[in-house]
Amino acid sequence: MLSFDAIALDTLAALDEEALDTLPFGVVGLSSEGNVEVYNATEAKLAGLPRDTVVGTHYFSVTAQCMNNFMVAQRLEDEAEIDATIDYVLTLRMRPTPVRLRLLKARRMERRFILIDR
């Protein structure tokens, strides 16, 4: 199933760019260093940041500084495995926007994901 709450990490990692772009929620895939490797069209549109300006940047220091804290960035760094959904408020470059974030990471994968449901 490809819903925000149900999509499995393995399924998400196997989707190509075209399939990721059809998802109704934002998808950000990060390297273990925090650099953006995946940024789907939904997130680009809703955040107002074109994909080509985001991919390759360090997500927490360049693009989403409002997530550079113990609730998001530090959890992805510290926890070996995570599948957690948290209520959050985005504040950078926009009016405060309530969202749900889903943090996904597994030992067996280099890439970790943040899903953003507005």
17-42 confidence digits (pLDDT tens): 999 999 999 999 999 999 999 999 99
pLDDT exceeding 70 applies to what percent of the chain?
98
The hierarchical CATH code for the domain 30-117 is: 3.30.450.20
Query: 101: pLDDT confidence band, cut at 50, 70 and 90?
Result: very high
Nearest to 99 by CA among 115, 113, 83, 75: 115
Does the pLDDT of residue 94 top 90, yes or no? no
Does the pLDDT of residue 1 top 80, yes or no? no
What pLDDT, on the 0 to 100 scale, is given for residue 13?
97
Average pLDDT over residues 69-91: 97
